[in-house]
Amino acid sequence: LLWQMIMRFQISYTPKKQEEKPEDGESVTVPTETQTKSGLLAWVNERIEPYGLKAHDFSKSFCDGRILTALTDCLQKQPTGKVPEVNTPIDTNASMEVVSKALHLAADTLTIPMLLDAHDVVFSPDDHSMMTYVSLFRNLHDEKVKNGELAVVPKCEPAMGVLPDVKEDDEEAERIKREAEEAAEAEKIRIQIEKKNKKKKEKQKKKKKKK
């Protein structure tokens, strides 16, 4: 129940220009959790695109601290457009430091409360907690847009660690395609064998009848 209330009143989002008061007797459409999640994720990716980053979810994508750093930086008066580079595989100690700095910087410069713990973000990320925290950045972003205070983020080169994710996706798609082709070929061979066996049985039956 608590999560549903947070999702409805804190995270669920409708741009001001789309907000309309329902007429008497009309019901208010409430976005599902999936719609709310995908909408917030889309907003995150719009903000972090200049940093060469992409979020796939609200758990593992945030573990190394770069996305939190980018969200914090993009709302500064003078964004740098830069995020820390990370090693692959991820160094958890380095990630803890990056996440901790991002959380403290957001609290100190943007007055966004530290709802999360760096250790939890790195080792046991939680979708609901991260969505709640990220919604605070979105609300501040909308306020800055309204007041004409949002600065332009300098475009940077893709951050290290992003391209391997895309490569892995491509490799996975190629593997699935290859397995499907192999399965189709195996099925084709199976059908041919069945046809041969069937013909063989029919010939044997005919021979028995003749005898």
Q: How far, in Å, CA of 211 to CA of 206, rounded?
A: 9
Q: Is 148 left (phi over 0), alpha (psi -120 to 50) or beta?
A: left
Q: pTM for the full model?
A: 0.63
Residue 200 in tokens? 């063989």
CB 12 within 8 A of CB 31: yes
Per-residue pLDDT of the chain (211 residues; tens, 9 = 90+): 344 544 444 445 544 444 444 455 554 455 566 777 888 899 999 999 999 999 999 999 999 999 999 999 999 999 999 998 876 666 888 899 999 999 999 999 999 999 899 999 999 988 888 988 999 999 899 899 989 988 888 766 554 444 334 344 455 556 555 665 666 666 667 677 777 888 888 877 777 776 6
